[in-house]
A and B are shown apart, each in its own frame.
Chain A
């Protein structure tokens, strides 16, 4: 038990240290930060255009009003920020190809931890997380959902599950570098799948909804927190939402171990 506590403390301390250094690094070049923010704002414009179409036409997405859609688009933008934030995950393919994992592999502690929480991109995360949070709050307000601890708790719980999924999916997509040669194609496909969350899943036909929930559970990343507080999920679905993020995390961990065994340090 004491051993466990010690280990946990180590993880927290090192993660915080990594975060501090990332932030310091970013602050050395404020112009890079600004240009990174600009790029993300441009991409966000596309995401908001979809919301604009729904708002301006006043359409309903399935059973969701346009006010509710704000919350879903907000969650989607927020999660995109989380995805962009984890540059340790997103840089895996490049580092594997260049053989840049070498030194990290010799450091004590879990390599997966050191790599995936070793670097953060504040510039790409900042606009997404900020605007995403604002939209979620605005949607929440417009839908007049009472801000009780229970409601917020459920929302945050599924948001956290979504973050775990974002991490696990992103990691698995990045780890394909150990098996696939055409990496550009993989990232294009993953980004295309990700963008399906730009609109609530209720927009799509039933087949697509089933695929996105069970086969490639990408919809769980951004839909579950909103759907849960709007009371659109039954007990089984609520459990499924948590179970999938646990499973995805375990799967990504297994895939990590299998991938690292294939690491050739740019030698092969």
Chain B
């Protein structure tokens, strides 16, 4: 256990080093969110409706404010690390050491995310406070707690989604750009920019059966109250199921890839 702990703390201090960059990134996150706020206030003002796409105005604002931050938070970048390890031959290091590669990467990511988890809590609280004063919008403490719980699971789930994808690097070279493109598509499909209900009821119903939406869309629904307590618990369970399934899948394809890697000789 000790070695995983070391990796975890190394991740923590590493992300502190770059906190100036992090601060700037935060501004880079706030700007697009602000733009969304303008769009939605224009839309709700123009249509005069109480609710659009199943969200009231404050709920929608909460959604877009938190979505940008959640998307940044759950984005682990593990695919690039794995790709690098495979193509630069770095995985040989892990093969000779008595660590489980998946476990190692997970701890590294969780360690890195630990610091941003704290700032996530502040971002969320700030957004809620702002909404409270601006539009008199109240969120129950239970929803906040369940949200933070599902947020942590979302990061792990996202890790496994991208870990599964990253094992493609065993079979394909020059995959960096592909990861880049796919991560943008996944972000949109997960609800990182707009709630999935905006894309029509067909996609919304499909989205219940794919893991993507459980990384952004549903966690935020828990917070904004468009999903009740029972639904929230359901989301948490589905997240766990997906994490389990993808962990198994990731492990299988990792070992399959490794076999090929060893056979070819790197």
Contact = CB atoms under 8 A, between A and B. Distances in A.
A57 B177 contact: no
B262 interface: no
A208 B38 contact: yes
Contacts of B180: 39, 42
B39 A189 contact: no
A35 B47 CA distance: 40
Contact of A182 (B21, B52, B188, B198): B21
A192 B39 contact: no
Interface stretch (B22-30, B95-103, B231-239): B22-30
Interface string B181-203: 11011001000011000111000
B202 to A, nearest CB: 13
B138 interface: no
Nearest to B183: A42
Contacts of B185: 42, 45
Nearest to B180: A39
Contacts of A166: none
A45 B43 CA distance: 21
A36 B177 contact: yes
A184 interface: yes
B174 interface: yes
Interface string A34-49: 0110110111011001
A195 interface: yes
Contact of B42 (A184, A192, A203): A203
B209 interface: no
A41 B181 contact: yes
Interface residues of A, number: 38
A153 to B, nearest CB: 32
B194 A49 contact: yes
Contacts of B20: 182, 185
B31 to A, nearest CB: 4
Contact of A59 (B25, B46, B188): B46
B35 interface: yes
Contacts of A193: 31
Contacts of A39: 177, 180-181, 184
A204 B45 CA distance: 13
B133 interface: no
A169 to B, nearest CB: 16
A189 B21 CA distance: 11
Nearest to A45: B188
B178 interface: yes
Interface string A20-36: 00000000000110011
A198 interface: yes
Nearest to A35: B177
Contacts of B54: none
A43 B42 CA distance: 24
19 contacts: A32-B174, A35-B177, A35-B178, A36-B177, A38-B181, A39-B177, A39-B180, A42-B185, A46-B188, A53-B39, A53-B194, A61-B42, A185-B20, A186-B24, A191-B28, A196-B31, A196-B35, A199-B35, A205-B38
Interface of A: 31-32, 35-36, 38-39, 41-43, 45-46, 49-50, 52-53, 56-57, 59-62, 182, 184-186, 188-189, 191-193, 195-196, 198-199, 203-205, 208
Given A45-B184, A185-B24, A203-B42, 12 more contacts: A31-B174, A35-B174, A39-B184, A45-B185, A52-B199, A59-B47, A182-B24, A189-B28, A191-B28, A192-B31, A205-B38, A208-B38
